[in-house]
Amino acid sequence: MAQRRLRWKDRIEPWYAAYALMGMVVAGLTPVLIPLVVGKASGSVQVGWVMAAISLGGLTAPIWGGLADRYRLHRWLLAGGLLLTAICIGGFPTGARPILWSALALGQGIGAASAATVANLFIVEVHPENEWDERIGWLQTFYGGGQVAGLVLVAVLSRFDFRITLEISAALCGIAFLLGWLTTKTPTAQPGSKPVLVHPVRQGEWPVHSPQRLFHHLDRKTLENLGASLGSPFGIFLLVWFLSFAGAATVFSQYPLMMQKLFNITPDLSSVGFAVAAGVGMSLYTPAGILSEHKGPGRVLRAALILRLLAFLGMLGLGASAWSSRQGWLALVGFGLVVCAWSLLSVCGTSLAAYLCPRGKGEGLGLFNSVTAIAGVVGAALGGWVAGLWGYNAILILAAIGVAAGLGLSVLAKFSIHRTEQPSTGAVDAHP
């Protein structure tokens, strides 16, 4: 049956607004505000631990997915997750102890993971399969658009105390909670086999709490088959991904502080720069998919890693020179290339994870997303520690080393896949 073309008003549901606000807060506002508030009071080491705690919350996704499937708690997990996120963000300005900040960050990560995990379930358990692609595409657009809007809002509110802006962020997340509760209803249909949604994450990856990132996650069955999966070319790909993602995460976790301390770029300008790069990156996903289809995802992966490596090396050279404070805008250009490279990495990485795994696409995506979350935790913690010991140029060195190591392994591996369907297509099959 040909896919039914939906009218624009049929493609968008009211609860998408809750996810737009969630993207605005957890992917746009807090990744800039929290490092600035924590860094001012405690330094870069504590910033690393706090940002790592947020990513650590993403590893709880299997818990919320299991609860939603077993007890039909979709609406409660969505609203409760958003409420917990709002409470934890609102607590940051009142906290002054590192252990409290880390606990609040973990709570924020858990809340966002709970809400994001059920995002796709509101689509795949309610609507016909031939509508999933289009609806999920719009969900991605709302979430990514929220991220860009959040980054712009940081710049607009930069004249205020950052603690006040965090309270505004908490209020926005509270509004998302109300929207989520009032506009959703737990699907009545009983869940069947979990569909395999091979969708790249279509927004700049920072706190790794995308709805697409958390739909597939590590489960007991995947853990039992872990040995067979890691002993294949898929295992090498996961190592490539871990090294390169963890390397980049060292910079992302310290981004606003690094730009301010090393390149003399104010938080409002660095936020605008990130927003512009994220907006440009959103327009690159379709060309990236076409390029991956024609040239192969392995080649696209290597090209994206080369782009990131050159950008990090350029930023490193600028930071080590006498021009770092006078030509800081060049650092924004370099970071913009890092962000735009994510469009290529997201498309080809998702494709390789789905089709290289010897145990099937679903298990491949679960391992891939778990490795992404772990790499975010390791990169954030390591970046804070390195910056505290040797300064912000050191994290650029660390990022370049991680990306270079991943690039070297990818060149040796020469990944190739054989498939019969597009990687960006919706549910291509289901778990047995």
What is residue 430's predicted lDDT score, i.e. its pLDDT?
Answer: 29
Fold match, 11-215 / 218-416 = yes
List the chain domain ranges: 11-215, 218-416
| Top-confidence residue, 381 or 7 | 381
**Mean pLDDT on 336-350:** 95
pLDDT at 17 over 90: yes
Statement: 11-215 belongs to CATH 1.20.1250.20: yes
Q: For residue 427, is it left (φ>0), alpha (ψ between -120 and 50) or beta?
A: beta
Question: pLDDT tens digits, residue range 229-269?
Answer: 777 889 999 999 999 999 999 999 999 999 999 999 999 99
What is residue 188's predicted lDDT score, i.e. its pLDDT?
Answer: 82
What is residue 180's predicted lDDT score, i.e. its pLDDT?
Answer: 96
pLDDT at 432 over 60: no
Q: Which CATH superfamily is domain 218-416 in?
A: MFS general substrate transporter like domains (1.20.1250.20)
Question: pLDDT tens digits, residue range 98-141?
Answer: 889 999 999 999 999 999 988 888 888 888 888 888 888 889 88
Question: pLDDT tens digits, residue range 137-188?
Answer: 889 889 999 999 999 999 999 888 888 999 999 999 999 999 999 999 998 8
What is residue 411's predicted lDDT score, i.e. its pLDDT?
Answer: 93
pLDDT at 427 over 80: no
Question: pLDDT tens digits, residue range 207-234?
Answer: 566 777 888 887 777 777 777 777 788 9
What is residue 422's predicted lDDT score, i.e. its pLDDT?
Answer: 43
pLDDT category at 82 given cuts 50, 70, 90 is very high
SS (H, E, C) the chain: CCCCCCCHHHHCCCCHHHHHHHHHHHHHHHHHHHHHHHHHHHCHHHHHHHHHHHHHHHHHHHHHHHHHHHHCCHHHHHHHHHHHHHHHHHHHHHCCCHHHHHHHHHHHHHHHHHHHHCCCHHHHCCCCHHHHHHHHHHHHHHHHHHHHHHHHHHHHHHHCCHHHHHHHHHHHHHHHHHHHHHHCCCCCCCCCCCEEECCCCCCCCCCCCCHHHHHCCCCHHHHHCHHHHHCCHHHHHHHHHHHHHHHHHHHHHCHHHHHHHHHCCCHHHHHHHHHHHHHHHHCCHHHHHHHHHHHCHHHHHHHHHHHHHHHHHHHHHHHCCCCCCCCCHHHHHHHHHHHHHHHHHHHHHHHHHHHHCCCCHHHHHHHHHHHHHHHHHHHHHHHHHHHHHHCHHHHHHHHHHHHHHHHHHHHHHCCCCCCCCCCCCCEEEECC
pLDDT > 70 fraction of the chain, expressed in percent and rounded: 91
**Mean pLDDT on 325-333:** 84
pTM: 0.91
Question: pLDDT tens digits, residue range 54-66?
Answer: 999 988 888 998 8
Question: pLDDT tens digits, residue range 378-424?
Answer: 999 999 999 999 999 999 999 999 999 999 999 998 776 654 444 44
What is residue 415's predicted lDDT score, i.e. its pLDDT?
Answer: 75
pLDDT at 1 over 60: no
